[in-house]
Structure 1
Amino acid sequence: MRAKLVEFGIDPDTLRPVATSFGPSARRGRLTTAASESEAGATPESMRTFSVVLAAVVAATAMAGKFHDSSRPCFRKSEARDEVITGPRMHEALDMSAVPTSLDWRVQLQSMGGSISAARQQHQPHYCGACWAFAATSAMSDRLRISARGAYPEIDIAPQVVLDCDNYDDGCYGGDPTTAYKFIHENNVTSETCNLYMAQGHYKTGRTCTSSSYCYTCSPSTGCAPVAKYDAHHIDQYGSISGETQMIAELQRGPITCGVAVTAGFEDYRGGIFTDPTNSTNIEHSISVVGYGEEKGQKYWIGRNSWGTWWGEARGFFRIARGSANGKGNLCIECDCQFGVPTGFKPPSPLPLKEGVIAPELTEVVVDVEAEVSDKATFAWDAPAAAPATGVYHDESRPGVVAASTVESVVTGPTGWQMPGAVPDAFDWRNVKGTDFTTWNKNQHIPVYCGSCWAQGTTSALSDRITIALNNPAVAQINLATQVIVNCRAGGSCQGGDPMGVYEWGHNNGIPDQTCQAYTATNGDGQCTAQEVCQVCAPSNSSFSPGSCKAVTSYPTWKVGDYYQIPNDVEKIKAEIYNKGPISCGVDVTARFEAYTGGILSDPVAFPQIDHEISLAGYGVDQATGKTYFILRNSWGTPWGEEGWMRIDSDSNGVSTACSAGVPIITNEQRRALGL
């Protein structure tokens, strides 16, 4: 109780004389007599004050639900709200009679060959009222993908940058998507591999916004430091909208953010079209709206939440009834919405304009991001201080993978290299007839240095294979939880490990996705408790943020069937990748490997010492030499290499000598849960 009073800005010591005047009669709902109040040094007014405070504290404690604390709503309308509008608003420019009657950006992005950004979990690894930051950065990520027509590389904007640096808002104590967009408009923002989500913000924590807040990495010898060059992203326009017509119009450009009320029914939502029987209009939470439709005469919005993939339907998404008699919508979802337009945004297609409306930004590309010279576009930023040029990512004295695995293969069917049929000379899972099947990029070395490459390369390859098997990256991009592998010592720790151990553990137990365990680059206690596998955090009586965490009892996991090592044979490796999907491989990290910035790396090592694990997602032919090269994904962040990737000669750095793979099991129940 004392901690809760302090949280409300009340000094408990000032209430002690009042508290002593409560006797047995007060516990039965009556105050003590005036005489006893005087004897205790309390006045009737102070008694009333204490009663109000006590009631507020008790009520606030009771209002902390499974995902949300109504006493500290994560949506807080900012006094700094404004707009930057450079052209006609969508509902002013569009011929609404020509707008489609349904739209789902999950499906639209898939038709472009890409995928919508995944639902996240804001309450990992701590409780954090960051819904506003997730809603804004998720919608912005989607619009960047739409502008790129779903092409690789897909960008995941970092909410942690906003939490650390947006002083218009209060970090984990709540904020406003509008001012998040305002911050990005004024300062730019980076991707997730530059600053990993830590469920912490600048407010009440002592965290400050520095150059490292935008992009950093941690080395084994010198600690953490800003990265010298990285891509940054910017918003040209942002503003507010409300009502069904304005929302539908703005959705033609991509997902938007909206405030919603939170009820017990919404917290318990598991699927279908949600209708709120309480008619609540108290906006306390922010989500992103990714589309709209109609089913059996019921119109609905399609929303994406940030409460994990076990919440809602189709992995963290939801549908909610659209339109209402009061014009506010269910949970007031139509009351207060926001949008941001990234610099260089390319509309998905020429949009149906009203006759006489001149809006070239809605009908043609007016800014080519690659050619844009403005400092407001995607660009390389020179940080004030850079990490050392060598030894930044890798410690040769502490290899990330074991010298030789002792885990035996499990093979019950043909491997990829045993399957019949010709294999093409070149193949890339990032672009299969225009579709990108690869999952998100990672940085194993933030927030601290961690030698978890053995878990990163394997979970990336497995995540890709799950997405390939489901054949629907737009709604089924799965990102397995690397932290669970480290917590459970499923092959090793931050001091290195055995990639085959990951496949073995996945075979025996199944692996949840990243919304069960956020990556913290720490070893955990190694006990592999239920909470170390999947947890959610909520405010406690003693702490709003970080709060306290508990195990989640029901969540999806993904099991591995067969798993095996792959022979040191380039043609067999190509066949395994082509027929089954990406694989994990060991490499010998040299100075040239660490310093790689682009092109095809040729760095033969006579006697490679395998000390790092990566994944291979494709291959091609070097036109200059006629030799095969592999398409390698690293886990050192997107500032490294070619957006976190590399092209490497098949005979370089021992890349062909220590490869392995796992085959995910996909059940009908999992397909149904995803709506497939």
Structure 2
Amino acid sequence: RTPTNLLLGSLAIMMSVMKTFIAVMAFSPLTWADEKIMPGHTVLEDYNHPLPHTYIKKESLPSSFTWGDVNGTSYLTKMLNQHIPQYCGSCFAHAALSSLADRIKIAQHGEGGDDINLSVQFVLNCGHSIAGSCHGGSSTGVYEFIKKHGYIPYDTCQPYIACSSNSEEGFCSNVDTACTPQNICRTCTRTGGCVEITEFPNATVAEYGSYHNDSHAMMAEIYARGPIKASVNATHLKDYKGGIISDPSLRTTKHNHGVSIVGWGTDEESGSKYWIVRNSWGQYWGEMGYFRVRLGDNILAIETNAAWATPGSYTTLNFPCAEDGKNCRYETKPYMDPSLDIETVQRRLKA
């Protein structure tokens, strides 16, 4: 065999081993305990504004809608993998924060420069008693924690390392995840030390709530304000390769994994609707990280427990800077809740 063939053969073996490793990590039995209510999570809902389903009729919603393609523009933030650089059952935080970050992008009309991604690691470092850890947690607990704490930094402040104080996977037992100023926002120097940052971009939570077994409320919420978090039974997702999950035998109320619903579609052949769902297992999985499941039948328990939150404010990235440089520092912008502008939402439905 030529050196080139030997090299290609070795690469093929390495890729096979890597795929097996990734599959084992993604579908570890521990994954099925990712969702649970923490003892410190006491406020399950906190809102005052009208909910979209109270002013949007089900029959007025479009047959297909996704924030991944609104007139050719995607308002979704980047796909993530909760199990890199090691296994971490943080789906609840990924689902909650990706949906919240999407809503900030929607509020910016897709013109706010780089995507804003919120720090999952900050939740693991500081919110473990209310929100959860690498051994599972609650998405509404994430929202309660952010509201009580007052803010959540962007992930450039505290990047994801897939560790919490109670996890021992990979290098986790050798890292500090205590809720110290450095573990909220930091930067590191050439000498190897790190220092805290005291002024940094962040977002807040104004309101949050949940829906249970109500597909109309879920659709109206998504259409009016943006993606939502949902709970699913992930046991049958390990073999998913693509297509619409519609097996009636998968109808259940038991859930163990957090995901975010970004929209819905209608199957041309059957005419049945399906949810468009973003997972947090990376783009190698499913349909580039997404999956579809029939809408309205509680397949995989997807309609059993959905959660949402609206931002209170967020730091704009101000890119590019104006010529005089005045907008090159942090500027906090209030979030405009579409629920306060019902007429505009209704005009979109008629367009």
Aligned-residue RMSD, C-alpha: 2.8
Per-residue CA deviations over 1:606-641 (Å, capped at 9, x if unaligned) read 433211000010111122332221110000010001
Contact 1:439–1:478, Cα closer than 8 Å, also in 2: yes
CA shift for structure 1 position 661: 0.4
Distance 2:182 2:332 in 1: 28
Q: Secondary structure at the match of 2:92?
A: helix
Distance 1:407 1:442 in 2: 28
Q: What is the aligned partner in structure 2 of residue 517 from structure 1? A: 158
Change (3 A) 1:622 1:674: farther
Q: Secondary structure at the match of 2:47?
A: coil
CA shift for structure 1 position 383: 3.7
Contact 1:437–1:473, Cα closer than 8 Å, also in 2: no
1:47-58 aligned within 5 A: none
CA shift for structure 1 position 569: 1.1
CA shift for structure 1 position 570: 1.1
Contact 1:419–1:579, Cα closer than 8 Å, also in 2: no
Change (3 A) 1:670 1:411: farther
Change (3 A) 1:666 1:388: closer
1:539 aligns with 2:190: yes
Q: 1:402 aligns with which of 27, 31, 36?
A: 36
Distance 2:315 2:34 in 1: 36
TM-score normalized by the length of structure 2: 0.76
Distance 1:482 1:494 in 2: 11
Change (3 A) 1:383 1:530: same
Change (3 A) 1:487 1:419: farther
CA shift for structure 1 position 577: 0.4
CA shift for structure 1 position 390: 6.7
CA shift for structure 1 position 549: 1.0
Q: Secondary structure at the match of 1:586?
A: strand
Aligned residues: 294
Q: Percent sequence identity over matched residues?
A: 34
1:386-401 aligned within 5 A: 386-387=19-20, 392-396=25-29, 398-401=32-35
Q: Secondary structure at the match of 1:573?
A: helix
Per-residue CA deviations over 1:40-96 (Å, capped at 9, x if unaligned) read xxxxxxxxxxxxxxxxxxxxxxxxxxxxxxxxxxxxxxxxxxxxxxxxxxxxxxxxx
Q: What is the aligned partner in structure 1 of residue 255 from structure 2? A: 610
Moved more, 412-421 or 480-489: 412-421
Bigger-Rg structure (1/2): 1
Flag the structure with more relative contact order, 1 or 2, with Cα contacts below 8 A and sequence separation at least 6: 2
1:449-598 aligned within 5 A: 449-473=87-111, 475-488=113-126, 489=128, 490-508=130-148, 509-524=150-165, 527-540=178-191, 547-591=192-236, 593-598=237-242
1:171-182 aligned within 5 A: none
Quick one: which amino acid aligns to residue 259 of structure 2? I
Quick one: which amino acid aligns to residue 407 of structure 1? V
Change (3 A) 1:597 1:473: farther
Distance 1:675 1:408 in 2: 27
Distance 2:332 2:159 in 1: 25
Q: Secondary structure at the match of 2:19?
A: coil
Contact 1:560–1:665, Cα closer than 8 Å, also in 2: yes
1:39-54 aligned within 5 A: none
TM-score normalized by the length of structure 1: 0.41
Distance 1:448 1:385 in 2: 13
Per-residue CA deviations over 1:121-156 (Å, capped at 9, x if unaligned) read xxxxxxxxxxxxxxxxxxxxxxxxxxxxxxxxxxxx
Change (3 A) 1:670 1:639: closer
Q: 2:48 aligns with which of 408, 412, 415?
A: 412
Per-residue CA deviations over 1:446-484 (Å, capped at 9, x if unaligned) read 111000001000111011001101213451521111111
Contact 1:390–1:595, Cα closer than 8 Å, also in 2: no
1:211-250 aligned within 5 A: none
Contact 1:585–1:655, Cα closer than 8 Å, also in 2: yes
Q: Secondary structure at the match of 1:643?
A: coil
Q: 1:661 aligns with which of 308, 319, 323?
A: 308
Quick one: which amino acid aligns to residue 569 of structure 1? D
Contact 1:453–1:613, Cα closer than 8 Å, also in 2: yes
Unaligned runs of at least 5 residues, structure 2: 1-6, 166-175, 319-326, 334-351
CA shift for structure 1 position 526: 5.4
Change (3 A) 1:551 1:668: closer
Quick one: which amino acid aligns to residue 393 of structure 1? A
Distance 1:597 1:550 in 2: 44
Q: What is the aligned partner in structure 2 of residue 437 from structure 1? A: 75
Contact 1:589–1:611, Cα closer than 8 Å, also in 2: yes
Contact 1:417–1:579, Cα closer than 8 Å, also in 2: no
Q: Secondary structure at the match of 2:231?
A: strand
Distance 1:386 1:548 in 2: 35
Distance 2:317 2:55 in 1: 26
Contact 2:121–2:162, Cα closer than 8 Å, also in 1: yes
Unaligned runs of at least 5 residues, structure 1: 1-186, 188-209, 213-224, 227-381, 541-546
CA shift for structure 1 position 595: 1.4
Contact 1:466–1:478, Cα closer than 8 Å, also in 2: yes
Q: What is the aligned partner in structure 2 of residue 629 from structure 1? A: 274
Change (3 A) 1:639 1:674: farther
Distance 1:641 1:628 in 2: 19
Distance 1:576 1:560 in 2: 16
Per-residue CA deviations over 1:467-505 (Å, capped at 9, x if unaligned) read 101213451521111111111125000000011111112
Quick one: which amino acid aligns to residue 656 of structure 1? E
Quick one: which amino acid aligns to residue 510 of structure 1? Y
Per-residue CA deviations over 1:170-191 (Å, capped at 9, x if unaligned) read xxxxxxxxxxxxxxxxx9xxxx
Q: What is the aligned partner in structure 1 of residue 3 from structure 2? A: none
Q: Secondary structure at the match of 2:262?
A: strand
